[in-house]
Amino acid sequence: MTLTRLSATQILADLGARRLSAAELMQETLARIDAVNPAVNAIVALRDPEDLMEEARAADQGPRRGPLHGLPIAVKDLVEVAGIVSSHGSPTMAGHIPKVDDLLAARLRAAGAILIGKTNVPEFGLGSHTFNPVYGATKNPYDMGLSCGGSSGGAAVALATGMTALADGSDMMGSLRNPAAWNNVYGFRPSWGLVPSEPVGDLFLHQLATLGPMARSPEDVAVLLDVIAGPDPRQPNNLPHQPVAPLTPVDPKGMRIGWLGDWGGAYPMEPGIMALCESGLKVFEDLGAHVEALAPPFSAAALWESWITLRSWQVGAGLAPLMEQPAQRAKLKDSAIWEAERGLGMSAMEVHRASVIRSDWFRKVVAMFEDYDALVLPTAQAWPFALEIPWPTSIAGRAMDTYHRWMEVVIPVSLIGLPSLAVPAGFGDQGLPMGFQIFGRRGDDAKMLALGAAYHAATQWPQKRPAM
């Protein structure tokens, strides 16, 4: 195993014990990026190699700064990082170099990480297919002609190919989960409020998206979660965080897991996805858990109506300044304009009605978790699709009426901010990876990671089938 494919836990232990130098790790990291990244285009805005080597040597000579001391990390290109081009995948921000770090980048830097560049994203993170006019498309390392998912697509590919050991991501509509599934890694969407967002603009109304960690094991996910989680006093909806690393797997024996499948047929699935996910659930049964297939607990149509209203309202608010400038608006992709126009045209009562549906769903889920330790859904409804397609227009013969309808399976989690771990489920007949999402009640983040660790110990998919 090459150095860059070791677990983050092992790398950090070796750095801490000085069995490994930050300079040696940086040299190996840059060599791996040079060998792999031209083909997959996952890491963008890479800093000057000499500057990075100088920073690594300084880390070796200086005092230990934190739990990530000396670890190279590329930050998702929706996060502002001081001194590094932060384009958000949009021509409206091409060449933009922030002077200060966003909160997440600041926490990574304070923990001792060396921020080497960015990971590629769709424009403003819209859509689960990582391509944009600034950097182009990121390719799936299991098949270069296919999408890697998104919006944390560059992050997932960097992990899958051994260019980084940890990666940050963000998730509104599956952006930590879909690319994890399509690249055979783990993505964790924390309970909303556990990882604080940037404390700017509205702090009360827009409760959909969250930042979170990605890695090649739940144990490594836990390491990064401990760095980026925790209250920020400038924000009103914080959740407290107790450290979860080092992560201990839970014994699943006797646990009850509810399998929601395709939601009674409401979510069309491409052939092979359901069977592969069910084979993954068999792992839990072999470990002593009780897995039960469940009937749809709520109207899928109502969830979708609530979701597209609240999402467009949030996206519209975020893009409003660009929409007001004709020259900037003309640079936005069609789906961004469509989403923003929907949001800008909404009434307060439309938003209220959508939030009532969300509240009803939350109350229903609270009751479900009185009987189940975790619930499970597939992570995606489609296998990775052709790189040149903007988004799938049909799944299993059913037409998709929006650019994001094909990701509908993630919204039961996203709509109410539950903790959800995307785990690999193996590979389909075409050799492509897929996964499922394990989610729990709000605040059950440590429990979901520990359950995922038990699954990982029994499967080891990212280690068994590494990309490239």
Integer distance in angstroms from the first to the last C-alpha of the chain? 13
Spatial distance between the Cα atoms of 254 and 271, rounded to a whole number of angstroms:
31
- Give, in degrees to the nearest 5, the angle at Cα 82 between 120 and 141: 15
Three-state secondary-structure class, residue 167: strand
pLDDT at residue number 1: 63
Q: Quick: pLDDT tens for 25-72.
A: 999 999 999 999 999 999 999 999 999 999 999 999 999 999 999 999
Question: What pLDDT, on the 0 to 100 scale, is given for residue 193?
Answer: 97
> What's the CA angle centered on 428, arms 426 and 434, to 5 degrees?
50
Kindly give the pairing relationship between strand 136-137 and strand 166-171. unpaired
Q: Which of 8, 68, 430 is CA-nearest to residue 218?
A: 8
pTM, whole model, 2 decimals?
0.98
What is the per-residue pLDDT for 98? 98
CB atoms < 10 A from the CB of 316, how many? 18
Indicate the domain borders of the chain: 3-301+350-464
Instruction: Name the E strands within 301-405.
Output: 374-378, 394-395, 398-399
What integer pLDDT is reported at residue 2 of this predicted model? Answer: 81
Using DSSP, state whether 173 is helix, strand or coil.
coil
CATH architecture of 3-301+350-464: Alpha-Beta Complex (3.90)
429 token code pair:
């007949």
Q: Chain centroid to CA 134: how far?
A: 21
Low-confidence spans in the chain with pLDDT less than 70:
1
